[in-house]
Structure 1
Amino acid sequence: MKDDFNVDELKKKLKKDRKETPTKATPKSDEEKVPALTTEKEVLDLIKKESSEKNNDSLDETLIEDYRDEEKDALNIEYETDESENKKESNFKDKLKSIKRPKFKLPNINYLKLFLIILLLSVISVLSIYLISSWSAVKEIEVNGNVNLEKEEILERSGIKEGNKMYLLQTNKAEENIKVLPIVEKINIEREWPNKVIIDVEEYKIVGFVESHRNYYPVLENKRVLRGFHMAPENAPIIHFFEGKEFDGLVDSLNDVNPEILRTISEIYYRPHDESNTRIQVLMNNGQEIIADYTTFGEKINYFEGMSNAIGDKNGIIDLEVSNAFIPYSTEEARRVKRDMSRIPKHAPYLEEIDENLESIKKALDNID
């Protein structure tokens, strides 16, 4: 690169000099006479040759000096080596390290609040979809604890139906509507999300039945008679001739009777006599007959199974009133007991009075219409 630069400059100077001092014969153009020079030695040889061909024509010394000065300058050019390049690269890296890079500061964000906001929005979205969709509709109603009440009657009283919105159910009002039924002791209605309703019913235990005009009405453990609630007398005895405090006392005793034993009792009659106003006559499903005191009957009758096995097939009266003994029908005492019990009326007076009162009320209502 150094030689090409200097040679070109010399060519230009030689052309200029020839134009200023033309020769005698110029058969060819200047370009054809200027050979291609590539090295310093060739250029110097050419200059000497031309100077000798000229008749004592001298070469301009300044031209040679300029050429040599340029050559000197060209020789003084420093070319970069691999070492210098590595050094520069190292210096550049040091400068980069020394430059203080601007710190990028993140905005001051409370990520906990952001998370809570996102969570709240998600919950609101899910709830909104749930409330307006069929997912919130009642799909199952479960009724537990009902023994004498039909499931359909409980559901009708509650007003709860499949397809109702879970969040619109008025459980308190439904409980009040069911609690109106006198046989219901406790009622509890719970939502089981997402689509189920559970109705837990606790009924009063039926301890007996009373008969009026060939209809049977249950007697509850709370001493209430369900008038108008007709039922077949099952799993409890039919009660005859009891009223007032005698009725209440008998119900208290029946509450103490084991349910398994209570199912084996067929009928109970109130049989007072001169010596006691608390005597009762009890007829069992297996045909055995018992006399007892209604105030202590509940605790004594629970041992009936053992007594029945001890008696076997013998016919007579089991006395639980005083002596806890067996009285065969063939004895005079058994015949006396039977005579005393036959004097009692066939129907309980208080039931007859109730029927008469109901009839009078019905007639009064008909007259109003």
Structure 2
Amino acid sequence: MAEDNREPLAGASALREALWALLPPTKEELVPELGEKVEPGVARLLREAAELFCGGRRSECLQASEAVLDYSWEKLNTGPWRDVHKDWRRVYAFGCLLKAACLCDEPGNAPAVAEALRVCDMGLLMGAAIHGDVLLKVAAVLQAHLRSGKRPGAAQEQPSTKKARNDGVSVPDVASERPVPRLRCPSLQHFRKQFLAPGRPVILEGVVDQWPCMTKWSLEYLQEIAGCRTVPVEVGSRYTDEDWSQTLMTVNEFISKYLRDESSDVGYLAQHQLFDQVIGRKYIRLYSPQESEALYPHETHLLHNTSQVDVENPDLERFPRFAEAPFLSCILSPGEVLFIPVRYWHYVRALDLSFSVSFWWS
């Protein structure tokens, strides 16, 4: 019979000591004065939560910190993000810090520690830096503790059984299309003169062979090192789909629920991009900025850099000029890096379960 996963993790007392060492020793230091934008009642409740924590009344502190989080969450989600005052983000971060610390007090079981880590991640994503990025330090301690506390037979989130695959996935005949040029290990000067400055796409080979991810990364590896971390995720194949949304979930949840072969809209960015393929293959088409009219961009400002055309199944009655638009294409394989110049329209479709890493710069 599997062990009860609510058992205290090994080293629970060591976890508390490690966390307490990161926290300021007094309630005044734990929650300093907040800005005038914070309502007095909320500031008072937050100070009371700090006092309860320092007084060892953890369950009462947990309730108070959750009330602070509920109220500040409403402030964070009312109106545009740019209009959210930093003081409310600090309030949310302090609430997350207190709640996470309370969750790890007793009894130190795996679900409580995992929830504390989720709370820290929420504070890192939605809050502001406090006490020298203490939430980042607390999250690192919690994650290390969770990984070291695994026990044989314990109820754990099981690794995904998804495998890289191409069954049922159509592979384009790129031999009949105009290929993206390739270059192996060019000098920086050559790359800058021949491709960066004139804005010409190119596939760079051999430039990331030394990256550890090229040999380490797999679904199992990513779940092992980051499966319990909460991250922002875009759900849906295309920005223009009605069911497209943004949400927060753990890496494990994303892999088990949403990771699948997908295509994207065709769109462009106002920055240069290096698109580094790590796992699996992707089919990519590139259209020059000069072909923008033939890509039929959406007329709204929000989607002005996104095409209305379904690239591999275009409606040529609605978008007749698209048929004549020239493009470059490639199948990007692991270890290859595609340089996409600024404002180049690009369409991407995964041929296998795949991971890529992108860098952007102006």
Q: TM-score, normalization: structure 1? A: 0.20
User: Greater relative contact order: 1 or 2 (C-alpha under 8 angstroms, separation 6 or more)?
Assistant: 2
Q: TM-score, normalization: structure 2? A: 0.20
Flag the structure with higher helix content: 1
Higher-Rg member (1/2)? 1
